[in-house]
Amino acid sequence: MPFHWPGAVHRSSTATHALAAPALSALLMASAMKHFRDPGFFRQVVPDYLCRDDGDTPAAGAPPAARPLAVMTREEWIALSGLVEAGAAVGLLIPATRRTTATGVAALFGVFVAGHVDAVRRACRPEGSSTQRAVHMARLPLQMPLILWAWSLRNAGRRPS
């Protein structure tokens, strides 16, 4: 069976895309709800350099001035990303906003790679546990299929020219 690149036009692309947008929307909504039900699940994926001092030890003892991107607490970042994912879940279901939303979701998943890389880096330190290493090493490679999935929805329902 030949491999078809996501978004490539072939006979089953209409059927595939008819299910792909609602499926990614459901995944995003489930993740958004988890952000509020179990924010601790996402805690280690938010890089220290993005977080104001919220009781955590700053990255490598860095003073707040050394973290110019630290505009919110870790909990605020988790809540904001949950809200963004919920909005994206809705946007993927609306044909008129699907292309823009899918582009944004692909970019969002791309940005999440930095958090996953940072989580792997911290888990591989001596204070990291083998469980943390295993979890974060498994979560990091999942970002590429998610990025490709979102990107493939940019042309969902469009007829080839």
User: DSSP secondary structure string, 46-63?
Assistant: S-GGGB--SSSPPGGG--
Q: Residue 2: what pLDDT?
A: 41
Q: Residue 1: what pLDDT?
A: 36
Quickly list H helices, the chain: 13-37, 40-43, 74-93, 95-123, 130-139, 143-152
pLDDT bucket at 3, cuts 50 / 70 / 90 = very low
Nearest-angstrom CA–CA distance, 103 and 99: 6
The residue type of 26 is A
Q: Residue 68: what pLDDT?
A: 73
Q: Mean pLDDT over residues 80-99, rounded?
A: 96
Tokens of 102: 């899918």
Summarize pLDDT for 11-34 with one digit per residue, the tens: 555 666 679 999 999 999 999 999
